[in-house]
Amino acid sequence: MPAPSPVISPFAPNLEIRGILLALAATLIWSLNFIIGRGIAETIPPFHLSFLRWFTAFIALLPFTLVPVLRQRRHFLRHWRYYLATGLVGVSLVNTFIYIAAHSVAALNMSLIAASSPLFVLILSRLFYQELLFPRRLGGICAVLAGVCLLITRGDLSALARLEFHSGDLSMLAGSFSFALYTLLARRQPSGVGQFTALTVIFGLGILFLIPPMLLEKGPPIPLTAPILGVLLYLGLGTSVLGFWLWGKAIAYIGPARTATIYYSLPLFCGLEAIIFLGETVAWVHFASGILILGGLLVATRQPGPPLPSRPRTGS
């Protein structure tokens, strides 16, 4: 009698590497969202910007996914609570909070608060999924946090004591918590549909929540210039469609807690982009923080002990 085929765990080394690379790619794409959000804050109000971003993504996906969505409508009706909650949290709330915060929050505060999202994921994963916080993972998180603080303070850690929190900071904190909730919800996506098909429904439902506040929002007319259209295309196709697809695949490979830890690389990417696009000079702090962040990520995302068994997805 032939021996049974071994079960391939999603935490196998090759899938671990793939999941880490996918999460890093998503974070790299999302890092420009902060720069764009701050740069365009005075031109497009936050609810309008969020609506235009997700509407662009929805329209881009619809020609390719409309038939699968209609064909599998019973699946979406059966799990309507899951898709409604995911659309509200992942589409309507996360980036709207970020765009609101971009009007008033200093860059130092935004970077610090954005780095809190993986901590929320780890705490919620412990509460709802009983995921263990291994010493190696905690040590890696501490190293990453040290690198983040070193980078955003430019080596002057005393700046942390001078932070002041306002309503914009609370908005950014709400955005970070919403992203943590989305990361956990993405883990429980019901099986049976393709990811782009599911994203179409999630984007569409999230847009519905944005319409009322957008209609009530006041602001100057939006100039539909080539740069503005280019920004909307990048936000809609890059940060929304591609970024969310990469993030969802990473979660499927390495789990929400380990994927969220990679989000700590966001300040590193933002710092590199500032050097490339804004002409900022390279200093010792960039190298030191880069070593701490990347080294901490490698430690925190390495699965301790034997591979964990595959955890089947369940519906809502």
Give, in order, the Cα–Cα distances in Å from 138 to each of 90, 286, 288. 26, 23, 20
Question: Which pLDDT score, from 0 to 100, does residue 197 have?
Answer: 95
The tokens of 311 are what?
Answer: 């955890």
Rg value, the chain, Cα: 20
Task: Map out the domains of the chain as residue ranges.
Answer: 13-129+164-257
The 3-state DSSP class for residue 55 equals: helix
Residues of the chain where predicted confidence (pLDDT) is lower than 70? 1-13, 105-112, 116, 133, 152, 154, 157, 159-161, 163-166, 274, 278-282, 301-316
For residue 225, how many other CB atoms are within 10 A of its CB? 10
Indicate the helix (H) or strand (E) that contains 22: helix 13-39
* pTM of the shown model: 0.76
Name, in order, each residue with C-beta under 8 angstroms of 279's C-beta and a sequence gap of 6 or more.
none
Report DSSP letters for 128-176, one per residue: HH-----HHHHHHHHHHHHHHHHHHTTT-GGGGGG----HHHHHHHHHH
Torsion sign across C-alpha atoms 80, 83, 85, 88: negative
Question: Which pLDDT score, from 0 to 100, does residue 246 have?
Answer: 94
Question: Residue 212 corresponds to which amino acid?
Answer: P
Three-class HEC string of 247-258: HHHHHHHHCHHH
Check: CB of residue 292 under 8 Å from CB of residue 143. Answer: yes
Question: Which pLDDT score, from 0 to 100, does residue 164 have?
Answer: 64
Give, in order, the Cα–Cα distances in Å from 208 to each of 91, 204, 212, 237. 10, 7, 8, 19
Question: Which pLDDT score, from 0 to 100, does residue 133 have?
Answer: 67
The tokens of 30 are what?
Answer: 């999302």
